[in-house]
Amino acid sequence: MYRVRLWSVRHARGLNAFYRGFESVMVACSGLWRLIGYQRLERPMAAAERLVKGVLFDCQMCGQCVLSATGMSCPMNCPKQLRNGPCGGVRADGHCEVLPQMRGVGVEAVAGSARIPGGAQSLAAAQHAVDRRLQGKSSWLRIVREKTERPS
Ligand code: SF4
């Protein structure tokens, strides 16, 4: 929901801190996730992620979350799906050139990043293009695996 999405950017600092804590808990539970099996967990975890992040960020389940680097403004809500915004088409009032009824997703990313310690540096780092093979998958589980499994 658009209003909630804007609220999340306004509260980017707190949400980012919560997210960091949540990530630590998820990583600390990696033994349990391994025991249950990542394959088995994928569907319920993705469903929970879709529900929570859908409400807070209008998450599109790209499977490679960059919210912490984009001021809690989900780049997949940009009509051009730019991860390195704002684009050059932002209107003078900060609204999107494609969907003038909404604020530019990249503009919101700048505002949200300014509220997160180190957010401006994170936003300045170039983001990779979206890997469509991960669409619909849980970012939460992917991050845990990236942090706990050695590449084979
Ligand atoms: S970056 Fe991807 S996973 Fe993160 S909120 Fe946006 S669509 Fe969802």
User: What is the predicted pLDDT for the residue at 70?
Assistant: 97
52-107 pLDDT tens trace: 999 999 999 999 999 999 999 999 999 999 999 899 999 999 999 999 999 999 99
pTM of the model: 0.92
Q: Is the CB of 61 under 6 A from ligand 1?
A: yes
Residue with tokens 């919210």: 67
Q: Are 10 and 56 in contact (CB under 8 A)?
A: no
Ligand 1 centroid to 87 CA: how many Å?
A: 19
121-134 pLDDT tens trace: 999 999 999 999 99
Query: What DSSP character marks residue 60?
Result: -
Which residue has the CA at smallest separation from atom 7 of ligand 1?
Answer: 60
131-145 pLDDT tens trace: 999 999 999 999 999
Q: Are 63 and 134 in contact (CB under 8 A)?
A: yes
CA distance 147 to 95: 37
Residue 152 clears pLDDT 70, i.e. is over it:
no
Q: Is the CB of 74 under 6 A from ligand 1?
A: yes
10-47 pLDDT tens trace: 999 999 999 999 999 999 999 999 999 999 999 999 99
The total of other beta-carbon atoms located within 10 Å of residue 64's CB is 17
CA distance 61 to 43: 12
Q: Is the CB of 78 under 6 A from ligand 1?
A: no
Using the atom order of ligand 1, give the atom closest to the CA of residue 70.
Answer: 1
Residue 151 clears pLDDT 80, i.e. is over it:
no
Residue 116 clears pLDDT 90, i.e. is over it:
yes
CA distance 57 to 60: 9
Q: Is the CB of 76 under 6 A from ligand 1?
A: yes
Q: Cβ neighbours of residue 102 under 8 Å, at least 6 residues apart?
A: 2, 95, 96
Q: Is the CB of 139 under 6 A from ligand 1?
A: yes
User: What is the predicted pLDDT for the residue at 54?
Assistant: 97
User: What is the predicted pLDDT for the residue at 150?
Assistant: 73
- Residue 7's φ and ψ, nearest 5 degrees, are -60, -45
